[in-house]
Amino acid sequence: MKFSQIAQNITVADRTSLITRPDCDPEVVGVAAIEEAVTGSISYVEGAKFAAEVGKTGASALILPLDEALQAQATERQIAWIATSQPRLAFAQAIALFYQPFRPAPEIHPTAVIHPSAQVGKEVAIGAHVVIQAGVKIGDQVCIHPNVVIYPEAQIGDRTTLHANCVIHERAQIGADCVIHSGAAIGSEGFGFVPTREGWFKMEQSGYTVLEDGVEVGCNSAIDRPAVGETRVARNTKIDNMVHIAHGCQVGEACAMAAQVGMAGGVTIGNRVILAGQVGIANSAKMGDGSVASAKTGIHTNVPPGEIVSGTPAVPHKLYLKASAVYNRLPEMYQTLKQLQRQLGNKP
């Protein structure tokens, strides 16, 4: 593929080297990280701190920020370039030109078990040993990979992909253009038990789990249904592997959760919230729109909109950094305290 063809397909491109160097239109055969790029590949950099990489990369083409110095450096090395305010997004678009995930042909494997009452849309791919139970509704162009189990009355929206070995529990509602990765369980029972003198009495989980359009759920994640009401994940939210969203949680739009995030029941997450790896959120806590929790943060109380928090229990990130600096000096401070106690004649 010629570089000029790639440039035409990058929707966020602001300008390219073709304006001044139309003759520099190399053949591009793939994408690569900047450190690993060779002749025939296209890569990207995100800022001036990568200037050294521009000077030594083997790439034939680069996606650059709106930095004239980097653009001039690439031009001097006869590297074709695209300039944009969103280099990473442009690179994602470039990858999509060279790679698309495997998608089987729209057909039903003879080993699939589909209940007669299930409704299956047009151009649906259903793999080997899939089980689709009573009352299920499958939209158009859905892709269901092998060994998926869909419990009764579940709904799967148009163009959604269910990867091998995931499970969709009863009455779960999954929107259009969602992706559920292998091993995920959507709509499984919430952890509901009532203490009695004889032990724990099981509270049946009669509610619903709803994933709106464009939600992606990573491998081995679980999103539980509640005893009553619903657990809901709003549109375009992206969930990494091994994440647990408990019963009754409400997750807003365009959130991102890294691996091993855990939410207790009744948590409310606003729109565009970011949760880094291993964040834990206590029962019924709320995070406001645009808030961020750094890795391993333990959240026990509400987080205001736009706040960045860290640590356990969570505190504002700037305060956490100050506390961390003090923590590293605790041994020294302890020795100083012992010396003062001795001088005062007190026991250490």
Q: How far is CA 325 from CA 175, 256, 329, in A?
A: 46, 29, 7
Of 348 and 345, more confident = 345
Give the rounded percent of residues in the chain with a pLDDT score beyond 90.
88
Give the rounded percent of residues in the chain with a pLDDT score beyond 70.
99
pLDDT tens digits for 184-213?
Answer: 999 999 999 999 999 999 999 999 999 999
Least confident of 88-97, 193-202, 254-263, 315-324: 315-324
- Helix 330-343 crosses helix 317-327 at what angle (to 10 degrees)? 60
pLDDT tens digits for 12-51?
Answer: 999 999 999 999 999 999 999 999 999 999 999 987 777 8
> What is the Cα–Cα distance from 244 to 251, expressed in whole angstroms?
12
> Quick one: tokens of 250?
């409400």
The neighbouring-strand residues paired with 42 are: 31, 61
For residue 241, give every residue at least 6 positions away whose Cβ sits within 8 Å of its Cβ, in sequence order, or none.
181, 218, 219, 220, 221, 259
pLDDT tens digits for 139-165?
Answer: 999 999 999 999 999 999 999 999 999
pLDDT at position 346: 57
pLDDT tens digits for 99-143?
Answer: 999 999 999 999 999 999 999 999 999 999 999 999 999 999 999
How do 308-310 and 315-316 pair as beta strands? antiparallel
> Quick one: tokens of 97?
């030109």
Sign, CA dihedral 284-307-214-130, equals: negative
pLDDT band at 87 (very low <50, low <70, confident <90, very high): very high
SS3 assignment, position 84: coil
> Quick one: tokens of 213?
């359009």
pLDDT tens digits for 236-245?
Answer: 999 999 999 9
Tell whether the model's pLDDT for residue 337 goes beyond 90. Answer: no
Strand order across the 15-16 sheet: 15-16, 80-83, 61-64, 41-44, 30-31
Q: Which of 129, 247, 300, 317 is catalytic?
A: 247
pLDDT at position 339: 87
Tell whether the model's pLDDT for residue 344 goes beyond 90. Answer: no
SS3 assignment, position 330: helix
- Contact status, residue 129 vs residue 144, Cβ threshold 8 Å: no
Tell whether the model's pLDDT for residue 333 goes beyond 90. Answer: no
pLDDT at position 165: 98
Q: Is 247 a catalytic residue?
A: yes
> What is the Cα–Cα distance from 164 to 186, expressed in whole angstroms?
14
Average pLDDT of the residues of the chain: 95
pLDDT band at 294 (very low <50, low <70, confident <90, very high): very high
- Contact status, residue 64 vs residue 45, Cβ threshold 8 Å: yes
Tell whether the model's pLDDT for residue 250 goes beyond 60. Answer: yes
pLDDT at position 347: 55
Tell whether the model's pLDDT for residue 348 goes beyond 60. Answer: no
pLDDT at position 256: 98
In the chain, alpha helices (H):
3-9, 51-56, 68-76, 87-98, 317-327, 330-343
DSSP run (H or E) holding 155 = strand 155-156
pLDDT at position 79: 95
pLDDT band at 343 (very low <50, low <70, confident <90, very high): confident
- Contact status, residue 263 vs residue 286, Cβ threshold 8 Å: no
pLDDT at position 260: 98
- CA 191 to chain CA centroid, nearest Å: 24
pLDDT at position 50: 79
pLDDT band at 71 (very low <50, low <70, confident <90, very high): very high
